[in-house]
Structure 1
Amino acid sequence: MTVDTSSAGDAGVGAGAGQHAVAAAIAAGEAVLSRRFGSAITLVSPEGLEGSGPATVVRARVVSSSFALPRTLVIKHYPDPPEPGEADPFAQEAVSYQLFTALSPDERMCPELLAHDGRHRVLVIEDLGRAPTLQDKLVSRDSRAAERALLSWARSLGRLHASTASREADFNALLRRLGGPVRNQDAGVADLTAEVPPMLADLLDVVVSEPVHDRVAQAVAQARSASFRAFSPVDLSPDNNLVTGSGVRFLDFERGRVRTALVDAAYLRLPFASCDDALALPAGMSEAMIAAWRAEVVSVWPSFADDEELAAQLTISELLMVWLITRETLPKLDLSRHATPVSREAALVTWWRELAKHAGYARLTDIAEHAQRVAAALGARLGPHADLAFYPAFR
């Protein structure tokens, strides 16, 4: 979710959402707040906030309330129920906010949930204001500010994991209460990974060896494991994080769930790799981010104090991430022309090269050799400049 910084009022509403959708969100927000506090509460000056998900997101000002409500609030309204059998983004987000609102303020890495209602499918949350997003910092020209924001993001992610490491049962119980299905969303990962070897053979003439097949199976087992599980926002896009005076705060939990924290930690090595416009970070930045994350979680998972153990665990998770991104991305790429430094083609080459480097450091030779072969095959087709460009802050 990114904030539409156009002026408040009708002009702002038009930018982020239709007038009817905004009016419906305001009405739902007033209804749930009035029921929550036992007296009519009026919201005015709606401002549509831009979002990529199914919710209408609106900032509004509270008028003449006798309650200790903030001056402004954010309303997230999900007007349409999910298709039968599909995950409900309203339920996922409501339960995620409930989980964090039950924690102490210093453990809460997100806005506070003030009210919610399953019948109206609406959330009312704390407004963190017009703080810049992590994406804003990355596209600025201030490398020091971008570095500080990335380290704060990594620390906040670690705190999020540490504070929710034993809360999976709570999360599932809350989800059932809202009618959301509790299911193992990692169950189909093995089937997805099985699609990659024939793809690599057909498109890149790279054969996956038996030891690498075994490593991928190990990565799938790790993803399904009961070890190192904690809450994850899942969508770790930089525009879903506000850089506040209290540190980075996570915004969107429409896909929030409990999974192994190692998946999120692998994103510290390949930052924002699931984003179509992901770019690169300078040497040493990822290692500093991992150190910041580890400092927050090592008291919960002491085995991560061992450098070799953490490196091996992260590399296995990174293998799965690159594997699944390759499955999603490779068939869509144009392998017949040279890649530009800001293309998805250059990104995929870079991530395979990074995997080879990290696997080498972790002495996982079979992964390193395979990743080098894939990167070389991609580079041969995409040209000598298939290196992902840095984010503007680091150019």
Structure 2
Amino acid sequence: MTVDTFDEAQDARADSPDEPGHSVEAAVAAGETVLAGRFGAPIALVEPELLEGSGPATVVRARIVSSPFGLPRTLVIKRYPPAVPGVPDPFAQEAVSYQLFTALSAEDRMCPELLAHHGPSRVLVVEDLGHAPTLRDKLYGSEARAAERSLLSWARSLGRMHATTASREADFDALLRRLGGPVKERMGWAQTTGLACERLPGRLEETLGVSASGAVRSVAAAAWERSCSSAYRAFSPVDLSPDNNLVTSGGVRFLDFERGRVRNALIDAAQLRVPFGSCDGALALPAGMSDAMIAAWRAEVSGIWPALADNDVFSAHLLDHQLVLVWVRTWEILGDRREPAAALVTWWRDLADYAGRGGAEALAEYAGDVSAALDKRFGPGLSLPLYPAFR
């Protein structure tokens, strides 16, 4: 089936959005058509199951009736609505992310395999990893050991993802360009972090009465510059929420690349120290867990980035990105007028602790003052609770 006949088939299958089951049926129809175009023969899908997701796509699991092409028994179809002008396209980001990983060997592929896709119809068909639990399931379960093993597996998988994509930025950009996506996505991150690092001290002084010295502002500006540098760049899913990670027998596998891009990998590594800090509803991990996760991540990337094997160099980089993550999240939360509650108190308290260990005395004092002021205003006695598995 040619691209032209694919488009004709899609037009012929279009039905009214008011029809019951429209989204599921349309996704299955699109999946059948894109598979036929990819493999050159009809492939019937049955028993569709709508899967929950936080993104804009309709996500459906379906079973293949029969196939001569060695395809898995079930697969997942993602059908996206039209792109919104002026907004990064989640279909393009995800399609290119899967293409990047599908070109790797199976052992280096930290996600489902891309089986077929079609840009004009905004459809992806990917391997179904089954009903494996998510990392969130483990963290909200009742077995601490199982949660600990899953977190370490997640950190190793994240490190391997970074190590195997560290030299693939040009490939990612080329693929994204073919789908019409904005290649220089990094500018958005640079602008957001730059704005936060420059203006957050003023907002905190206004809100909490805590002023930042020139030394603290200089440390934040330098951390921002290093987070935007060309060093240590690799692919990132960006959305590292625990429910986007499946705990399989072969290790943790990442799902949902709707914001996937190449950026400084240490921004992701900082979330091992500020667990899932970019996600709403993040909780805390027990003492020592973050250090163990960081060691697992570091073991995977030190071969590709030998400088990170030096403890002083690595600690300085990690503190930089911890600062950036905490400042950006604080800027976002205060800007949305959400109650910071225990999360910000804990993150700033931890930043003060790690800054003190790293000899950044001015930053340690400032972070401690911010944490205390937040606790005084919204507490007192606030502390982020542990994930249920560790209580």
Q: TM-score range by the shorter chain?
A: over 0.9
Distance in 1 between residues matched to 2:335 and 2:26, nearest whole Å: 41
2:212 is equivalent to residue 211 of structure 1: no
Aligned runs of 1:373-384 on 2, under 5 Å?
Answer: 373-384=369-380
Q: Given the alignment, which residue of 254, 273, 277 partners 1:273? A: 277
Q: Which structure 2 residues correspond to residues 311-390 of structure 1 after superposition, within 5 A?
A: 311-332=315-336, 344-390=340-386
Tell me if the contact between 2:341 and 2:379 (Cα under 8 Å) persists in the aligned partners: no
SS at 1:195 equivalent: helix
1:334 Cα offset (Å): 7.1
Q: Please say if residues 278 and 325 of structure 2, whose CA atoms lie closer than 8 Å, have aligned partners that are also in contact.
A: no
- Runs (4 or more) in structure 1 with deviation over 3 Å come to 331-335
Q: CA deviation at 1:385?
A: 2.5
Q: Which amino acid aligns with 2:35?
A: L
Equivalences for residues 72-87 of structure 1 within 5 A = 72-81=74-83, 83-87=84-88
Given the alignment of the two structures, is residue 185 of structure 1 paired with residue 181 of structure 2, yes or no?
Answer: no
User: Partner amino acid for 2:307?
Assistant: S
1:70 maps to amino acid: P
AA partner of residue 34 (structure 2)? V
Q: Which residue of 1 aligns with 2:30?
A: 28
Q: Distance in 2 between matches of 1:102 and 1:196?
A: 42
1:1-395 matches, cutoff 5 A: 19-81=21-83, 83-183=84-184, 184-188=187-191, 189-332=193-336, 344-395=340-391
Q: Aligned AA for 1:271?
A: P
- Tell me the CA shift for residue 216 of structure 1: 1.3
Work out whether residues 349 and 375 of structure 1, in 8 Å CA contact, stay in contact via their aligned partners in 2.
yes
Matched residues in 1 for 2:33 and 2:154: separation? 35
Q: C-alpha separation between the residues in 2 aligned to 1:288 and 1:231?
A: 22
Q: Deviations over 1:299-343 (max 9, x none)?
A: 0111111112111110011101110111111355577xxxxxxxx
Conserved in 2, the CA contact under 8 Å of 1:21 and 1:56?
A: yes
What amino acid sits opposite 2:370 in the alignment?
V
**Structure 1 residues 93, 331: closer, same or farther in 2, change over 3 A?**
closer
Cα–Cα, structure 1 residues 66 and 332, in superposed 2: closer, same or farther, change >3 Å? closer
* Structure 2 letter corresponding to 1:33: L
CA contact (8 A) 1:159 1:296 kept: yes
Alignment deviations for residues 151-198 of structure 1 (CA, whole Å, 9 cap, x no partner): 000000000000000100000000001111112333313124333122
What SS class does the counterpart of residue 272 from structure 2 fall into? Answer: coil
What is the percent sequence identity of the aligned residues? 63
Paired residue total: 369
CA contact (8 A) 1:76 1:122 kept: yes
CA distance in 1, matches of 2:190, 2:276: 23
Gaps of 5+ in 1: 1-17, 336-343
Distance between the aligned counterparts of 1:68 and 1:334, measured in 2?
A: 50
TM-score, normalised via structure 2 length:
0.92
| Aligned-pair Cα RMSD in Å | 1.2
With the length of structure 1 as denominator, give the TM-score of the two structures. 0.91
The equivalent residue for 1:15 is none
In structure 1, give the amino acid aligned to 2:280. D
CA deviation profile, 1:8-40 (whole Å, cap 9, x unmatched): xxxxxxxxxx71111111111111100101011
**How far is 1:250 from its partner?**
0.2
Q: Does structure 2 retain, via aligned residues, the 8 Å contact 1:333–1:345?
A: no
> For structure 1, which segment, 281-290 or 176-185, has the greater mean C-alpha deviation from structure 2 after superposition?
176-185
